[in-house]
Amino acid sequence: MSVFSHGRRRLMGGAAALACALALAACGDTKPEFIGSDITGSHLGQAMSMPDTTGKLRTLDDYKGKVKVVFFGFTQCPDVCPTSLAELAQTMDLLGTDADKVQVILISVDPARDTPEVLSAYVHAFNPNFIGLTGTPEQLAATAKSFKAFYAKVEGAAPGQYTMNHAASFYILDQDGEARVLVSGNAPAKDIAHDIRQLL
């Protein structure tokens, strides 16, 4: 009798432990599954500090509570930047009402030509809620370094002509401002939307 009772207690204890484990797995901290590259723990972008097109100095804290999609580019970019911003605009459409929880930020790598007025008109042509940041070369250098983002001026054939080479990836940061995903600049909107949803 005592052996049966002891075995029964062990069986019941094991069943309870299994049920607890399953419950924790169902409602616990499940790791997001990103399509892009998981960069959790990299702390990229923490030193972002640049003026927006109204002249207000912006840091990640200004967008706390929103998922942030940060992209480096410039308004005279012939193909990569407009294509990427068009994909981000489509991403917002796919997100529906969740788009209100997302802030897309274009950081200009060409502050000499991307004045606040020019940059504002450019980003708003893709989506009225997109914002642009443009500042001094020193502010850009510090912000780009924080994201480990590459950019370089390339002189053109004629004097005074130039273009900008730059990294073309999307940095997706969570609602607390931590960098979580690096997405290719040519990723389709549905993939970008998927990774954003993992952080909402």
Tokens 């250098």 locate to 141
**6 annotated ligand binder:** no
**20 annotated ligand binder:** no
Q: Cα separation of 114 and 116, whole Å?
A: 6
Whether residue 106 contacts residue 68, with contact meaning beta carbons closer than 8 Å, is answered with no
Cβ–Cβ contacts within 10 Å for residue 125, how many? 14
**194 annotated ligand binder:** no
Q: Cα separation of 42 and 179, whole Å?
A: 7
User: Which residues in 131-152 are b (16+ Cβ under 10 Å) and which e?
Assistant: bbbbbeeebbeebbebbebebe
Q: Look at residue 9 and give its three-state secondary structure.
A: helix
| Binding site members for Cu cation | 77, 81, 166
| Binding site members | 77, 81, 166
